[in-house]
Amino acid sequence: MSQVDFWSSNPCGADGEFSQIIEQRYRLEPWLPRDLRTIPSNRGKYLEIGCGQGADAFLICSTLNKDDEYHAVDYSKESIRRAVTFVDDAKQHLNLRVTPRFAWGDALNLQYSDCEFDFIYSMGVIHHTPAPQKAIDEVFRVLKSGGHARIFLYRRGSPKVGAAKVLRLTQGLADKILRQERCIYKLLSRKKSKFFGSMVLECFGVPWMEWYSEKDLRTMFRNYSSVDIQPFGYNFPRFSKMEIDGYNNFGVFYKIEARK
Ligand SMILES: C[S@@+](CC[C@H](N)C(=O)[O-])C[C@H]1O[C@@H](n2cnc3c(N)ncnc32)[C@H](O)[C@@H]1O
């Protein structure tokens, strides 16, 4: 199965209506809304890479200036189809100031010209691509000089990603013995539940998954004029709706703020 087919038949996030997508996203990651609201408005042209079904795009577009432009791409045709159908609901419920422009796109070969964007956001995507350096170079290419990128990538040493790596190795062995593809994923995804579904997808299902040390990231972002790297997020879902701060020394992600 090609990667596009995989992501198209396994969209990230809940299956359901707009309200369910939003509710699940920020119940499981209650540190995210506060961080998204720190994305500066009035910057001009924004790009999100790997927007999934669009939850973060909608939240960000409710904080931008009405003259800003927000483009969002994803490799999953089904995620983009759903995101487009959610636009009217988002306008009604989130008081959007800007309408996001969703399109299919590949992080490794973006369809945009050099130096087109002022701000680029990408959450949990580039570590799922087979050529992360190419994706980071693509971000650099389409950013304007002085433009800003906020990118979240899995942190080496994070318990969640470590556990997922061990489970993926186990699955690889089981696949060899049983001559199957992603046997544990197939078994567990039959019992896909509200939050378990996306955990299972990320642990077993995804074709690629990598994690990085701060040193790796400094090398990968060496072309940028400044880079700030902080551990961020939580390894396991939280079940309270209370918003929390995402800075956490044991975080599942590194939050990378890079300027071209
Ligand atoms: C773990 S999900 C994260 C989605 C969203 N950013 C979020 O945080 O919910 C990874 C997303 O990356 C997308 N993706 C994977 N490879 C990609 C690529 N080469 N270009 C663009 N998007 C890609 C998948 O389709 C999927 O929607």
Mean pLDDT by 10 residues, the chain (260 residues): 86 90 88 94 97 98 97 97 97 94 98 98 97 98 98 94 86 84 74 57 80 98 98 75 78 96
pLDDT at position 256 is 98
CA 229 – CA 255 distance, rounded (Å): 6
Task: Examine residue 103 and state whether it is found in any structural domain, yes or no.
Answer: yes
| Amino acid 169: pLDDT | 86
33 contacts 98 by C-beta, under 8 angstroms: no
- Name the residue of 28, 32, 35, 74 to mutate for ligand 1: max ligand atoms within 8 A of Cβ: 74
Q: CB under 8 Å to 47, separation ≥6 — which residues?
A: 71, 72, 73, 110, 112, 116, 117, 119, 120, 121, 142
89 falls within a domain: yes
* Position 174 in a domain: no
pLDDT on residue 180: 82
Say how many Å lie between the CA of residue 20 and the centre of ligand 1: 19
The reported pTM is: 0.93
Q: Which of 125, 218, 203 is nearest to 170 (CA)?
A: 203
- Give the pairing type, strands 69-74 and 45-49: parallel
Nearest C-alpha to atom 2 of ligand 1 is from which residue?
A: 12
Closest ligand 1 atom, CA of 48?
A: 6
Contact 23, 47 (CB under 8 A): no
CB-based contact 139:117 (threshold 8 Å): no
Q: What is the CATH number of the domain that holds 80?
A: 3.40.50.150
Quote the domain boundaries for residue 91: 3-156+209-259
CB of 80 within 8 A of CB of 104? yes
What is the domain count for the chain?
A: 1
pLDDT at 35: 95
Phi and psi at residue 159, to the nearest 5° = -60, -40
pLDDT at 63: 96
Q: Judge whether 151 lies within some domain.
A: yes
Contact 39, 150 (CB under 8 A): yes
Ligand 1 pocket: which of 48, 125, 138, 150 to mutate (most atoms within 8 A of CB):
125
Give the pair of three-digit tokens for residue 85.
């159908």
Q: Is residue 215, in this structure, part of any structural domain at all?
A: yes
The pLDDT value given to residue 65: 96
| 97 SS3 class | coil
**69, part of any domain:** yes
For residue 231 the two structure tokens come to: 């551990």
- Whether residue 17 lies inside any domain: the answer is yes
Q: How many CB atoms lie within 10 A of CB 47?
A: 26
Burial readout 103-141 (b: 16 or more C-beta within 10 A, e: otherwise): eebbbbebebeeebbbbbbbbbbbbbbeebeebbebbbe
* Assigned domain for 183 exists: no
Nearest to 143 by CA among 112, 121, 117: 117
